[in-house]
Amino acid sequence: MTKVITYGTYDLLHYGHIRLLERAKALGDYLIVGVTSDAFDRTRGKINVQQSLMERIDAVRATGIADQIVVEEYEGQKIDDIVKYGVDIFTVGSDWVGKFDYLNNYCKVVYLDRTQGVSSSELRSEKRMERIGIVGSSNNAMSMMSKFERESHYANGIAISGICTRCDALPPNLSTLPCVTDEYQELLDVSDAIYLVSRPEKHYQHIMEALSQGKHVLVESPITVDSTQYKELTTYANERGLVLMDGIKTAYSIAYNRMMVLAKSGAIGDIISVDATCTSLPKSAVLQPDNDWNSITAWGPTALLPVLQLLGPDYEDISISSKMLDNTEHFDIFSKVDLRYPGAVASMRVAQGVKSEGQLVISGTKGYIYVPAPWWKTDYFELRYEDQSNNRRYFYQLEGEGIRNEIVAFLRAINGEMSSITINDNVSKTTVRVIDDFYKHKLLLLH
């Protein structure tokens, strides 16, 4: 019996896929089809797959062509599968000619001509193109705006319509956009959705203007700095069927999500303490309150993310201690926030003008999770125990700091898949509540 194996994502299964599978089956007596997992696709830069792994497996099975289906989960698995299943022929589409010649050492390699005129990428691209405009009000937001534009190229169904900013010098990838303006309405007129990186104090105004004109909004957290305004904005968006999405890129990175799954699974027992530190120093010599975000808004949402996702929104008590920039009322260069829960505590340190070790430590009754600095960009974390022989290290490739996955989640939410949004209302609402307490001076000032 001649065994044949082939691999693919098989997203939005179409006639081209079926013809390729039929010709692969004709090469032998028994066809094994490898369907790539979601995680493996992400490591290869395929973040815009529309269907889940189970949907894609079911679609391949329904063709009746495959004798056996396996899941491809890691680099190098092709060799392992060829040896494991006693494969005689490896086959793949002709657009990969030469790529898999190294497999000739293990079996015969055959490249099959692709069916012309149809591909999953084309089918995904035929979906309605969302025009997203970028809004940023300071030179210090330029890095995020530029990253967002670059990462947008990894997702189908999005076109950056332009940028609204009063910044003087724009990088080439922003200065050449179709619409470059300092008039917000001009950008709204050519956009279906907005990515907002304006100062947090202006979020309410910018979000409301966009929502009132039927535009979806992805906003760099916090959504606003006032709890009453948050409720008004979310209610307004829900009533009109619009997406108002809290943007924290860390929430969409693979390593962070795997770490959260392990923490919630009981791998370190009951969680008793969460300690998160996020700090940075200004790019310019001096902090500029008119341009820079203060510490509680720049870093607070990120530091609160693991706290609220693990311990929840219902803390019993909160204490905020802050060091303000001289001659300012709300511009903290450092803040420490302590939260007390029933049976647990949390602490976060955030700073724009003080530097510290940016690590995350989650302490449990059986062990703890350690994420080294900068934990919000992590591709690595450890589970540590009393018996060090039980310690485990986890590595995951970090692609685009989570931004490209965040963009895909936003697009899916616009298309009705609200479950793609990782940050739920309780996390967003409680984040705003903590920041609201800061702005209402419910804090201790460090002199």
In this predicted structure, what is the pLDDT of residue 235? 98
CA nearest to 280, candidates 353, 226, 220, 386: 353
Q: Residue 386: how many CB atoms within 10 A of its CB?
A: 8
- For 158, counting Cβ atoms within 10 Å of its Cβ (0-12 exposed, 13-18 middle, 19+ buried), the class is buried
Answer CATH for 127-247 from 3.40.50.12780, 2.170.150.20, 3.40.50.1390, 3.40.50.720: 3.40.50.720
Per-residue pLDDT band for 283 (boundaries 50, 70, 90) equals confident
Task: Decide if 124 contacts 378 (C-beta within 8 A).
Answer: no
| Mean pLDDT (whole number) for 385-413 | 90
With CA atoms as reference, report the closest residue to 279 among 301, 297, 256, 295. 295
Average pLDDT, the chain: 90
Q: Give yes or no for residue 353 having a pLDDT over 80.
A: yes
Lowest mean pLDDT among 30-34, 120-124, 289-293, 367-371: 120-124
The first and second tokens of residue 319, run together, are 């204490």
| Architecture of the domain made up of 251-445 | 2-Layer Sandwich (3.30)
- Report DSSP letters for 125-182, one per residue: HTSPPEEEEEEE-SGGGHHHHHHHHHHGGGSTTEEEEEEE---S---HHHHTSSEEES
User: How many residues are present in the chain?
Assistant: 447
Predicted pLDDT at 143: 87
Are 3-120 and 127-247 equal in CATH topology?
yes
pLDDT value of residue 254: 83
- Model pLDDT, residue 43: 62
pLDDT digits (tens, 9 = 90+) for 38-52: 777 666 555 667 777
- Higher local confidence (pLDDT), 48 or 376: 376
Distance (Å, whole) CA 362 – CA 319: 20
CATH of domain 3-120: 3.40.50.620
pTM, rounded to two decimals: 0.77
Tokens of 431: 């984040």
C-alpha closest to that of 415 among 135, 151, 48: 48
User: What is the residue extent of each domain of the chain?
Assistant: 3-120, 127-247, 251-445
pLDDT of res. 274: 98
> What's the pLDDT at 115?
62
pLDDT for residue 444:
73
**CA torsion angle 402 407 408 411 (round to 10):** 160
Residues 171-197 pLDDT 10s? 999 999 999 999 999 999 999 999 999
**What integer is the mean pLDDT of 339-350?**
97
